């Protein structure tokens, strides 16, 4: 039934139940697939069980950190931390230049 191949780091959803999970590992030699459900539970299934699942590949949930314990904001990879002192001054300098380029009123 499963049309989707188990791909590591890919999120899937049960078509009938709507439960979401992520494939952590797919080991063809051992014949096992490790999955982590959105609630954090980890389960190991074999490829025969996978073939019986009605699942489809989906995009990662907006808050994909649901199953993760103790995730720090810095670990998410989308915070802007590469700013230096010059970066903080630029918006002020741009506004100052814009004000000085405008002609005075009534002049």
pLDDT string in tens for the chain (107-residue length): 657 899 999 999 999 888 999 999 999 999 999 999 988 899 999 999 999 999 999 998 876 555 455 555 555 454 555 666 666 566 555 555 555 565 566 55
Q: Do residues 57 and 11 make contact, with C-beta atoms less than 8 angstroms apart?
A: yes
Rounded distance between C-alpha atoms, residue 91 and residue 81, angstroms: 17
Kindly tell me the sign of the dihedral angle through the C-alpha atoms of 52, 56, 59, 63.
negative
Q: Report the sign of the C-alpha dihedral through residues 10, 5, 53, 59, in that order.
A: positive
Residue 50: what are its φ and ψ, rounded to 5°? -60, -45
Q: Round to whole Å and give the CA distance between 94 and 107.
A: 23
What's this model's pTM, rounded to 2 decimal places? 0.58
Q: What pLDDT does 83 receive?
A: 60
């Amino acid at each position: 039934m499963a049309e989707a191949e188990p791909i590591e780091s890919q999120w899937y959803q049960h078509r009938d139940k709507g439960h979401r999970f992520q494939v952590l590992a797919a080991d063809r030699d051992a014949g096992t697939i490790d999955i982590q459900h959105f609630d954090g539970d980890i389960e190991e299934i074999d490829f025969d069980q996978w073939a019986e699942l009605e699942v489809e590949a989906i995009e990662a949930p907006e808050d994909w950190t649901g199953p993760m314990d103790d995730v720090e904001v810095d670990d998410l990879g989308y915070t802007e931390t590469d700013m230096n002192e010059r970066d903080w001054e630029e918006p002020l300098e741009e506004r100052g230049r814009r004000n000085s380029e405008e002609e005075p009123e009534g002049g």
